[in-house]
Amino acid sequence: MASLMRPGFVRQAPAASQRMLSTLTASAINRPALQHLERAAPQKSTRIAAFHATQRTQILPPLPQSVVGTANDPTPVPEASPTHGSYHWSFERIVSAGLVPLTIAPFAAGSLNPVTDSILCALLVVHSHIGFESCIIDYFPKARVPKVRTAAMWALRAATLATGVALYSFETNDVGVTEAVVRLWRA
């Protein structure tokens, strides 16, 4: 009846008998009999270790943590800025929505216009920059790892500039992005 009311009691009973066996001394039982009991009842760590999939040590240490203020202090709210609020959100959506017709139009209409191609390349660079910037903002909080975040933002700016220069060079000195896609598609 007790096991129906307390399911943990059933799980605790074997552990209690194992603890009792381990407390017996060699003076009460001869040594070979004690070794036989130890082999018969494996330790808890050997039973669990076979089914564990996690490590005891982490691959990377946790980020630095500090508590600012007390538990009763309100969370600081950042200053509202329309350029980084609703305007930023609207700009992201316009760029994303603009990529759809610019991606389909050159192939559907059959015309390979260099102006359309350059606008497509510019929007791809801006769209990629905004997406990677959001990843950096999410994964590297400014309050916890300011130097890593600054380095990642500068690396993103350098990569965006290099991509823009490379696409400009490809557009002016070679066939262009849409023509390259057409040639790859037909190859």
Residues 6 or more apart whose CB falls under 8 angstroms from that of 41 comprise 18, 21
Closest CA to 159 of 181, 131, 137, 186: 131
**Do residues 178 and 112 touch, judged by C-beta distance below 8 A?**
yes
124's tokens: 């791809």
Check whether 139 is labelled as a binding-site residue. yes
Alpha-carbon separation of residue 106 from 52, 164, 181 (angstroms) = 54, 20, 10
Closest CA to 117 of 70, 168, 59, 61: 168
Q: According to DSSP H, which parts of 27-145 are helical?
A: 31-40, 44-49, 86-109, 114-139
Check whether 36 is labelled as a binding-site residue. no
**Do residues 69 and 49 touch, judged by C-beta distance below 8 A?**
no
Task: Please enumerate, by residue number, every residue annotated as part of a binding site for heme b.
Answer: 127
Task: Please enumerate, by residue number, every residue annotated as part of a binding site for a ubiquinone.
Answer: 139
Task: Please enumerate, by residue number, every residue annotated as part of a binding site.
Answer: 127, 139
